[in-house]
């Protein structure tokens, strides 16, 4: 069973059963695990979905369900990167400075409201779903698109819009790394939101490692007659 938070209006089709929506915190997720007789819980949420991850840790413990986190490694700066690391979006907006700049914004659509505090900049905002209603900014343009985004396409996008700075999360993985590589190639600084605190617990870096762990858990359970 794949559980989606429901924040994307038209999520990509999946070849497995899907449920959409929250559970009602850790207690609600615990009840779901018990009621549906879930044998194993894998937390594969976005690295910035810290509340969901914390609830998953608590629910797995309360329901006595084997649990692991699929946590893609964070990106690390390499030669040529010009990163300005910040803790949250408000700090990212302050890092833009007072002088008007052309900014490419690749953040979740629920998190971009602080941009209102710096209306002097020109924003190009990319999101999976439309920003509704649009932000009350005179200089904001919107792109709706679903990744993956490659370096070549993102370099062309940044060039066409004369982008001077990129604002992004350290999501990890390859699907959205194109903008980071493109910014490096163009010499554009990136205001990078640091990852939030990650709950303690067993974790793996890849889907393959998660499957290997899952096979081990289920094989062990079968051997015990569980």
Each residue of 177-197: pLDDT tens digit?
Answer: 999 999 999 999 999 999 988
**What is the model's pLDDT at position 12?**
80
Q: Residue 184: give the domain boundaries.
A: 83-193
Nearest partner of 168 among 153, 188, 185, 187, judged by Cα: 188
Query: What's the confidence (pLDDT) of residue 226?
Result: 61
Residue 75 tokens read as 């990106």
Contact between residue 185 and residue 155 where contact means Cβ atoms under 8 Å apart: yes
- The whole-angstrom separation of Cα 60 and Cα 83 is 37
Q: Tell whether the model's pLDDT for residue 225 goes beyond 70.
A: no
pLDDT(214) > 90: yes
Residue 166's domain is classified under what CATH number? 3.40.50.1980
As for how many domains the chain has, the answer is 2
189 and 87, same structural domain?
A: yes
pTM over 0.75: yes
User: Do the domain assignments include residue 78?
Assistant: no
For residues 119 and 100, is the Cβ–Cβ distance under 8 A? no
3 state SS of 87: coil
Task: Tell whether 189 is covered by a domain.
Answer: yes
pLDDT at 50: 81
Per-residue pLDDT tens digits for 104-160 = 999 988 889 999 999 999 999 999 889 989 999 999 999 999 889 999 999 999 999
Same domain, 117 and 180: yes
Average pLDDT over residues 199-223: 87
Instruction: Verify that 186 and 210 share a domain, yes or no.
Output: no
């Amino acid at each position: 069973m794949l559980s989606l938070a429901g924040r994307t209006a038209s999520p990509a089709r999946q070849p497995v059963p899907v449920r959409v929506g929250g559970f009602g915190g850790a207690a609600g997720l615990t009840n779901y695990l018990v009621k549906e007789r879930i044998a194993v819980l894998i937390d594969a949420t976005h690295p910035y979905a810290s509340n969901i991850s914390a609830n998953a840790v608590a629910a797995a413990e309360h329901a006595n369900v084997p649990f692991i986190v699929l946590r893609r490694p964070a990106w690390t700066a390499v030669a040529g990167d010009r990163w300005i690391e910040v803790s949250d979006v408000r700090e990212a907006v302050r890092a833009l400075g007072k002088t008007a700049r052309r900014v490419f914004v690749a953040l979740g659509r629920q998190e971009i409201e602080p941009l209102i505090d710096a209306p002097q900049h020109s924003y190009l905002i990319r999101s999976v779903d439309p920003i509704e209603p649009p932000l009350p900014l005179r200089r904001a343009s919107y792109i709706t698109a679903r990744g993956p985004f490659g370096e070549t396409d993102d370099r062309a996008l940044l060039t066409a819009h004369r982008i001077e700075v990129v604002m992004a999360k350290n999501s990890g993985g390859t699907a959205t790394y194109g903008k980071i590589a493109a910014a490096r190639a163009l010499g554009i600084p990136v205001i990078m939101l640091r990852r939030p605190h990650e709950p303690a617990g067993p974790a793996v870096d890849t889907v393959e490692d998660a499957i290997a762990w899952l096979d081990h858990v289920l094989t062990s359970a079968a051997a015990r007659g569980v």
